[in-house]
Amino acid sequence: MRIAVFSDVHGNPFVCETVLKEIEKAGPFDAMVAAGDSLFGGSDPARCAELLMDSGAQVLSGNTEEYIRAPQLTPPDERHARKWDRLQPIAYWIRAQLSPEQLAWVDDMPFEARFSPTTNPQDDLLVVHANPRDNLLFIYPDLVDQVTVFGEISQPDDDPDLHAYFEGVTARMVAFGHLHWSSVRRWNGYTLVNVAACSGSIYNGLERARFTVFTWTGSSWALERHAVKYDTKLEAAALRASTHPDKETWAKTYDAGDEVR
């Protein structure tokens, strides 16, 4: 069994086209999963929806798909609620870009995808957007990377929220995105794989379309990490030419390239 997982396309059609082409080259695969945040933020959410719908990928709901479905509702977490005056207009704008068929597709996106190479549920690969409980709260990288990236340990191994995420979760291999940082964390018998963001992967290389391949070897899952360069300036220009309500803020992110962090 061979599964390709990517995440956080964020409405960027250039990165979406790149990652889908590279996954096709790396195939064949038994399944392909886009782990949420596929449409929000970039220049052309409708084109990304078209590409993903045509690709045959299983596309999961992320926190920003929740915003698109219900832009009248303020997010429950403080991190996103304090940005809502800037995020909400984008959610309404995206709804105006999508066709009725694409909006129905967003409405029907599942929370998770699960792959079972054996009858033992511990061998399953579980794919979610942020964590196995909700689409909002982060799974951080291992303790060394937390200090390297954020300057402190934000989520120690005994963090009660982290334990709550995995209560009752049988799958020992868990793939996700949300936090834009490529990492593998071994924790409490689980392997926690952040496949990183395709678009806006500011911590370890903005100019990279990222995906991870999970291959069942007969006894465990083997990982292959892929990072493919693409031209971020195309997305910056497309944003500035669009009617995106916060286009300059997002375009500046792509201007920065690999030097953003």
CATH for 89: 3.60.21.10
Is residue 107, in this structure, part of any structural domain at all? yes
Is residue 163, in this structure, part of any structural domain at all? no
pLDDT tens-place string over residues 47-102: 999 999 999 999 999 999 999 999 999 998 888 899 999 999 999 999 999 999 99
Is residue 154, in this structure, part of any structural domain at all? no
Residue 82 belongs to domain spanning: 2-138+171-259
Residue 205: band (very low, low, confident or very high) from pLDDT cuts 50, 70, 90: low
Is residue 229, in this structure, part of any structural domain at all? yes
Largest Cα separation within the chain, whole Å, is 52
4 forms beta bridges with: 32, 213
Average pLDDT over residues 187-191: 97
Structural domain count, the chain = 1
Is residue 55, in this structure, part of any structural domain at all? yes
Is residue 197, in this structure, part of any structural domain at all? yes
pLDDT given at position 21: 97
Average pLDDT over residues 171-199: 94
Is residue 246, in this structure, part of any structural domain at all? yes
Is residue 147, in this structure, part of any structural domain at all? no
Global model pTM greater than 0.75: yes
